[in-house]
Structures are given as C-alpha cells and as structure tokens.
Amino acid sequence: MDIVVCIKRVPATDTAIKIAADGKSIETNGVSFEMNAYDEFALEQALLIKEQLGEGTVTALTIGPSLAQKVMRDALARGADKAVVLTTDEWIYDGAQVAQALATYLQANPAQIVLCGKQAVDSDNNQLAGNLAARLGFGCVTEVTKLELADGTFTAERDIEGAREVVTCKTPAVISCNKGLNQPRYANLKGIMKAKKKPLEEAAADLPAAAMEIVSLELPPARADGRIIGEGVDAVPALIEALRNEAKAI
C-alpha cells in the first residue's frame, strides 16, 4: 500500500506575524517554519496504517521553496520512507493551484491513500482534500477523528454539528485529518539519524495559473486598553451596564 501525506510548511504558531511591504503577504525574514499541526495527524495516521499492514511506503509530499526540505526532514525523522518537495518560489495561495500541482505528481506516482490535514493553520483555506480528490477521481472523507482500514475499505468517524457521523469509503481515497485522530509521535534521535539516509527529492512544481489571488492582508486591529470601572460592590451596576451595552457580552 503506497500512502502519500501532503504536508504544508507553515510559520511556527508562536510567530508574531508582520505584513510584508507589498501588503499582500507576510514577512518571512526571521520566521521559523514547522509542519502544519493538522498534517502531523495525517503523517501519524499514515505511519499507523503502514505498521498495521506491515508493508507499504509512506511518502511525504509538499509544495514550496527548497527551504521546505527542513520540514520534510522532520517527516522522515518521524518515520516517512521518502519525501518530495515540488519546488516553486511563488507564494501560493490558491487551493486549486496547489491541488493541481499535487495531482500531477500523484498521477505520475500513484498512491492508494492520500492523507492531509483538514486545513493549514496559516491560511485556513480548507480546500485541498476535496480539490485533490476531484482531480484524482478518488473518494474523499474530510475532518476525520477516527479511521480504521479493513480489506481496502475505510471506516471513518467525523464530528459534525451535534453528532458523530460514521462513513465508509473505498480506496483509493483522500482523507483529511482532524485533531483527536491520534497522538503524533516525536521524532526520536535514531529516527533523526536515519532521516539523512532516506531519499529527499526535489522536482519543479507543475503549477497552473492561479484563479484566486490575495488582494490585501492586514492585521486585526490592536486590542483596546482595559478600563477599570470602579472598585468593590458599588461598581457592580456600572460593570453590568458596560458588559451589557458596551461589550454586549451578557
């Protein structure tokens, strides 16, 4: 069973984001990048499936600059067998564009299971799984929190509004992974040592023209300073008044 995990390199979650001079992208100087947190669940699930089946390969796939190799090394250290960076210097935003480039790779290098995070924590677009499955003609289950595989069919659970949904899906399929699916493993030290001997390939991304573009990007307004309304019991009515009519919190 060949499993591909689509991974995005995103700014570390504790980054103080600054808007770049063009007003449409973020300043990447001094920003450290890491594996998208939801993709960690996807990678872990791929490794679990491989361990369950006792055979197969797990390939980590990403699109981005050559610098994305660092995140791919992390995937290899955690247990992926092989990693591929589809390189581009463009700052890609359009989910359809990403899906097309990944689909082109996957048509030439077929996989039975494609796993990805439910969304990237930087752009929160939530577009990849559906876009990719449509292009590959695969089944698609999104935001799964439990996944079991038997005889080429998945049983997946999804948390939907007020309920838990159980669905089945035949392979080949694209599955997007949600928090709760598993507990991603740490890269252990032997894994890190092994990672440098594993194949890490680069190929130019075959990118179609973008249909979407970012027009502008701005930071949320700075939070206003707090205000002390008064002290003690006497201040309570004024506090309730402010919470009700000003903050509209109660």
Partner 1 sequence: MSDPYKALDFYNVDDLYTEEELMIRDAVRSWVSDRFMPVIEEHNRAATFPRDLIPELGELGVYGASLTGYGCAGLSPVASGLICQELERGDSGLRSFVSVQGSLCMFPIWAYGTEEQKQKYLPDMAAGKLIGCFGLTEADFGSNPGGMLTKAVEDGDHYVLNGSKYWITNGSTCQVAIVWAKLNGVIRGFLIDSDTPGFTGKQIKNKFSLRASDTSELVLEDCRIPKSQILPGIEGIKGPLSCLTQARYGIAFGVIGSAQAAYDEALRYSQMRISFDKPIARYQLVQNKLVWMASEITKAQLLCWKLAQMKEAGTMHHYHVSMAKRNNCWMALECCRIGRDILGANGITDEYQMMRHMCNLESVITYEGTHDIHGLIIGRQLTGEDAIT
In the complex, the residues that contact partner 1 under the rule CB under 8 A are 70, 73-74, 77, 186-190, 192-193, 195-196
For 195, the enclosing helix (H) or strand (E) is: helix 189-195
- Pairing mode, if any, of strands 139-150 and 113-117? unpaired
Please, what is the minimum distance in Å from the beta carbon of residue 74 to partner 1? 7
Please, what is the minimum distance in Å from the beta carbon of residue 23 to partner 1? 29
Nearest CB to partner 1, comparing residues 75 and 86: 75
Q: Where are the beta strands (DSSP E) in 151-199?
A: 153-160, 163-170, 173-177
Do residues 157 and 164 lie in contact, with contact meaning Cβ atoms separated by under 8 Å? Answer: yes
Nearest CB to partner 1, comparing residues 48 and 187: 187
CA 67 remoteness from chain centre: 17
Do residues 119 and 149 lie in contact, with contact meaning Cβ atoms separated by under 8 Å? Answer: no
Nearest CB to partner 1, comparing residues 39 and 143: 39
- Pairing mode, if any, of strands 82-87 and 113-117? unpaired
Nearest CB to partner 1, comparing residues 74 and 157: 74
Please, what is the minimum distance in Å from the beta carbon of residue 185 to partner 1? 8
Nearest CB to partner 1, comparing residues 153 and 188: 188
Please, what is the minimum distance in Å from the beta carbon of residue 6 to partner 1? 22
Of residues 197, 173, 200, the one with CA closest to residue 3: 173
Please, what is the minimum distance in Å from the beta carbon of residue 31 to partner 1? 14
